[in-house]
Amino acid sequence: MKNQRVVIVGGASGLGLSVAKLMLADGAHSIALIDKNGPLLEETVGNLKAEGHTVFGAEGDITRKDSAHAVFAQALAQLGRVDCLVNSAAIYPRRPILEISDDEWDLENAVNIKGTYHMMVAAIEHMRSRPKVETHVAGRIVNITSVDAFKAHPQNAHYAATKAAVVSLTKSFAHEVAKDGILVNSVAPAGFATERAKKLGFLGELASANPLGRAAEPEEIAQWVLMMASERNTYATGENVIVSGGYIYA
């Protein structure tokens, strides 16, 4: 990631923060974290700056085009250019399939699908105007999907449906912007041990169903995001990489 400038959506905590830390350790020039939680974002940016990193924060709503493009523009202004976008923002409600309300569907779709879509469009509008480097790549986008797009779990239908949609969006975008030298891929983890996941209490169940006998640490998933986001990736596009410890095979 040497000298790369990166936008991470949903970067104030969880996997997004793990990706940011790994990229900075790998030599990223600067990172802009986008998040809707202003106080948490401010705290996270402050902690990373205290460690000597060049990190910015941009608070905003990604569920509507105008606000999503505005917050991306803010991040772009802070960075000067954007080499890579990582879409890690998502919500994960739990609800029995017969009890999901219209409001819950609307919010899930707005954040997980529309938010991802709006941020990709904003990034591509910037990246396609940039010259391709010697590897013929003008930019990279990595979306975080989930094994839930491929394997059913109780009380999870609306989340799983949105992640399946993001897998599809990834492929569609990759096909349309290949001519612009923009690589679009996704990483689909099984359950991993964020603080939020620990509080929800399902990691033990997933660990027992996993051939490796444990949930991944966020850093282990972040390594795959790093691979797809970095200059090491010069040819893969439209791919969805499943990182599940053998939980599913696809």
- Any idea which residues carry the catalytic annotation? 159
State residue 144 phi and psi, 5-degree precision.
-95, 115
Largest CA distance in the chain: 53
- Tally the residues of the chain: 250
H/E element, 143: strand 139-144
Q: How far is CA 192 from CA 61, 71, 98, 150, 229, in A?
A: 26, 28, 27, 17, 20
Q: What is the dihedral of CA 177, 169, 69, 144, to 10 degrees?
A: -110
